[in-house]
Amino acid sequence: MIITTVKKQGGDNLFVSIIEEIGGENAVKVANALSDKDEATDEEIAEKTDMRLNAVRKVLYRLYENRLASYRRTRDTRTGWFIYFWKLNPERLRTLIISRKQMVYQRLKERLYFEKENMLFHCGNSECEQLTFDDAMDVSFKCPNCAKPLIFVKNDKSIELLETKISELEEELKTLKY
């Protein structure tokens, strides 16, 4: 339930990419199977995901190592074996999602500052980089990569785009933190 909330609050892609980074595609399958339920045994997950029990256990362990999953165990009175009930740890996931978003937010702020503070020059070639005024001066306004003349770039559009994205992220972070 909480996972669904986290996923909905703009965290869906991040949910997938964080889990994928930790345990690959298999981890995404397992996490999705777990996110629909309060808890599940490894056998239930294997059945639901069509994965081998061994692979499921490997993924669960990876998630456990990263504090993204936890378990409780009870003894099966019939067989005497332990049964493990697994669940995702939504708080940990939320923390990871927030810190990713904060990182992006920080980078966008830095980029915005850079765009606002600098006059930028470009040759028009998409493979070449933009240069600041000082750097463009150093190369006599000739692109160091393709030698075409460097032209002043009006960056109002980039600034506007960055500002929109930044305020969107601010909103998302507010909801995620509640």
The binding site for Zn ion (CB under 5 A) comprises: 123, 125, 128, 143, 145-146
Q: Which C-beta is closer to Zn ion: that of 18 or that of 136?
A: 136
175 φ/ψ sector (left φ>0, alpha ψ -120 to 50, else beta)? alpha
Is residue 169 within 8 Å of 101, Cβ to Cβ? yes
> Least distance in Å: CB of 133 to Zn ion?
16
Nearest-angstrom CA–CA distance, 10 and 12: 6
Question: Closest distance between Zn ion and the C-beta of residue 149, in Å?
Answer: 9
Supply the minimum distance, in Å, between the C-beta of residue 145 and Zn ion. 4
Q: Which is nearer to Zn ion, 99 or 125 (CB)?
A: 125
The alpha carbon of residue 132 and the mean position of all alpha carbons in its chain are separated, in whole angstroms, by: 30
Beta strands in 63-174 (DSSP E): 69-75, 82-88, 120-122, 131-132, 151-153
For Zn ion, which is the closer residue by CB, 105 or 133? 133
State in angstroms the smallest separation of the CB of 122 from Zn ion.
Answer: 8
CB nearer Zn ion, residue 128 or residue 139: 128
